[in-house]
Amino acid sequence: SRMSPPERLEDALRRAKCVHPRAALDAAIARMASAISAEYEGGERPLYLTLMHGGMVFAAHLAVALSIDVEFDYLHATRYRGATSGGALRWIKPPQVSLRDRRVLLVDDILDEGRTLLAVREYCEGARAADVRVAVLCEKLHSRRVAGIAADYAGLTVPDRYVFGFGMDYHEQGRNLPAIYAL
């Protein structure tokens, strides 16, 4: 049985509920930027590592709200979904900057089950980063989180539903919506 194509974004939006309007996102980002800036102030310039594609919108807004200087790089990785893979990462674009002895801030849109973020953090640790922290705009509320991953900085919580907007997609649609919606 072939999967039916996803509905149009307009139709999904009609069914969706706005869970965080733009003002709430801006306030959460300001809070996070303040905490992150205070944490890294006066120390070594951190490497600001955005997880693509989902993290891009949030990462850009968070970066310009920081009061510290950061060095940018990004990565793009997906997890193999095969039964024998154990969730191994498939690298589309690994970081280009050496992580050795660096303070790394991983920036992503959402901490859901956490498999990809955990694998990326382990990759950074394996590359001998001095310190790896995780900043996410949203944490999804459920009990399926894998062991060993948590957000050091989190903006908002979202319900255990399909969420999209502000970087998160609805079948590759709606990433640039200025709010977060849930179906």
Parallel, antiparallel or unpaired: strands 71-79 and 103-111 = unpaired
Parallel, antiparallel or unpaired: strands 17-20 and 180-182 = antiparallel
Number of H helices, E strands in the chain: 4, 9
Asked if 22 and 178 touch (Cβ cutoff 8 Å), the reply is yes
To the query of whether residue 26 is one of the catalytic residues in this protein, the response is no
What letter does residue 69 receive in the DSSP assignment? Answer: -
Question: Out of 11, 69, 112, 152, which one is annotated catalytic?
Answer: 112
Tokens coding 183: 């179906």
Tell me which residues are annotated as active site: 112
